[in-house]
Amino acid sequence: MFRSRRKRLLFARVLLLLKNRKPVARRRNAHMLKYPDAKVISLGIGDTTEPIPEVITSAIAKRAEALSTLEGYSGYGPEQGEKPLRTAIASTFYAGLGIEEDDIFVSDGAKCDISRLQMVFWGKCNHGSARSIIPVIYVSINWLMFDSSVIMGQTGQFQKDVEKYGKIEYMRCTPENGFFPDLSKVSRTDIIFFCSPNNPTGSAATREQLTRLVQFAKDNGSIIVYDSAYAMYMSDDNPRSIFEIPGAKEVALETSSFSKYAGFTGVRLGWTVVPKQLLYSDGFPVVKDFNRVVCTSFNGASNICQAGGRACLSPEGLKAMSEVIGFYKENTNIIMDTFNSLGFNVYGGKNAPYVWVHFPGQSSWDVFSEILEKTHVVTTPGSGFGPGGEGFVRVSAFGHRENVLEACRRFKQLYN
């Protein structure tokens, strides 16, 4: 089937990755078969649960209905996204930061854009042998940046003895370093993946920390891929965009999404910002490569979904999204208060919808299994995000209020 040994090895690695992709879901399903009458509560996967606000769904319905008329029908749109939405994103999230409408690419979600970026960088970094910085506590949604790097063959072989890939520079982020890596101990890399507010730790990088990160990228000729999917959850006075940092447009691009703001995890709508000032070492603009990949592999986000995106960014839509985010932040406070009252060291929660609970000296998977077996509540083992997450469990605040309250009651029964 494959003529080269390298392609056979890559294909085998992809099959192994896909096989092991969702161990939490498999264990959850096995638990439900074992206890068919139990009410299993999921606070594991970061999927939204509350309805999309009516001001947004009505705009989606109106655009869909218009497609049945001659006046309202539209076919293929610009691959980069409809101009009114791109303009609204620029003015809402990047006002005063020097980001223009044509720097923004509307997509079917940040997850898809991150994979497209792998196509952009394939062969561009050290002729396809790039090393990528990935903070082990972590960088993106569901290991996506990591997984896509593996699938594209840019990570080298998996080293079983240390449980790491050879061409990834792991940056351990822990409570001791404020969940921000010691950049003085990191080797030079081509690509830096960074997420703030962070999934899974719930931490958010400060202005001073991001200033150091931007300078590190400048000093090393690296490109930062910055994931800001939880920026609207920020409570502290930390940057909500990497472009708040002077000089960031020369070294960074940013990806974000409506998924966790408006409940668009199923609707699918996001965006990526690629500034014109971002250049490869030979002076070629990164945006030209990204535009070519987008126009070649993508026909543009759904026009119906883009109508929803514009409604999100109306004054009424922004107010409605803030109310939904406020609901999830209340859930976060309930979970934080529960584990704090039980004497655990708890992190996150304030700037992201995730609570990062420390179980020192214990295996993350053992804690996950005990919680599932004794409380019928699904969480996420920290080691699933990398070796630096061992000893932690992530608890998601995405859930109906009654389920969050019931889960917390069960936690208290287990650990009191």
Helix, strand, or coil here: 199?
Answer: coil
Mean pLDDT across 74-98:
97
Q: How much is the pLDDT for 331? A: 98
Helix, strand, or coil here: 399?
Answer: coil
Q: How much is the pLDDT for 137? A: 33
Residues 348, 44: Cα–Cα separation, whole Å: 15
| Exposure on the CB side of residue 333, measured as CA atoms within 13 A | 8
Q: How much is the pLDDT for 62? A: 98
Indicate if the pLDDT at residue 297 is higher than 80: yes
Tokens of 53: 């606000």
Q: How much is the pLDDT for 94? A: 98
Tokens of 330: 């209340």
Indicate if the pLDDT at residue 61 is higher than 50: yes
Q: How much is the pLDDT for 258? A: 97
User: What is the per-residue pLDDT across 134-191, written as a single tens digit (0 to 9) for each?
Assistant: 443 333 333 455 565 665 666 667 777 766 666 677 788 899 999 998 898 888 888 8
Burial of residue 15 (CB within 10 Å: 0-12, 13-18, 19+) is: exposed
Ramachandran assignment for 139, one of left (phi > 0), alpha (psi -120 to 50 degrees), beta (any other): alpha
Tokens of 202: 């719930």
Tokens of 282: 């030979």
Domains of the chain: 17-52+317-415 (3.90.1150.10), 55-314 (3.40.640.10)
Q: How much is the pLDDT for 173? A: 86
Residues 244, 164: Cα–Cα separation, whole Å: 33
Indicate if the pLDDT at residue 87 is higher than 60: yes
Q: How much is the pLDDT for 305? A: 98
Q: How much is the pLDDT for 143? A: 46
Q: How much is the pLDDT for 166? A: 66
Indicate if the pLDDT at residue 200 is higher than 80: yes
Q: How much is the pLDDT for 121? A: 86
Indicate if the pLDDT at residue 290 is higher than 50: yes
Among 83-87, 129-133, 279-283, where is mean pLDDT lowest?
Answer: 129-133
Indicate if the pLDDT at residue 132 is higher than 90: no
Q: How much is the pLDDT for 158? A: 73
Q: How much is the pLDDT for 385? A: 85
Indicate if the pLDDT at residue 39 is higher than 70: yes
Share the mean pLDDT of the chain: 88
Residue 237 in contact with residue 243, Cβ under 8 Å?
A: no
Q: How much is the pLDDT for 318? A: 98
Residue whose structure tokens are 């096989």: 19
Residues 225, 113: Cα–Cα separation, whole Å: 11
Pick from 167, 257, 240: nearest CA to 205: 240
Q: How much is the pLDDT for 154? A: 64
Band (pLDDT 50/70/90 cuts) for residue 384 is confident
Indicate if the pLDDT at residue 259 is higher than 70: yes
Mean pLDDT across 9-25:
55
Q: How much is the pLDDT for 46? A: 85
Pick from 136, 210, 212, 213: nearest CA to 169: 136
Between residues 181 and 101, the one the model is more confident about: 101
Would you list the DSSP string of 135-149? Answer: ESS-SSGGGHHHHHH
Q: How much is the pLDDT for 138? A: 33
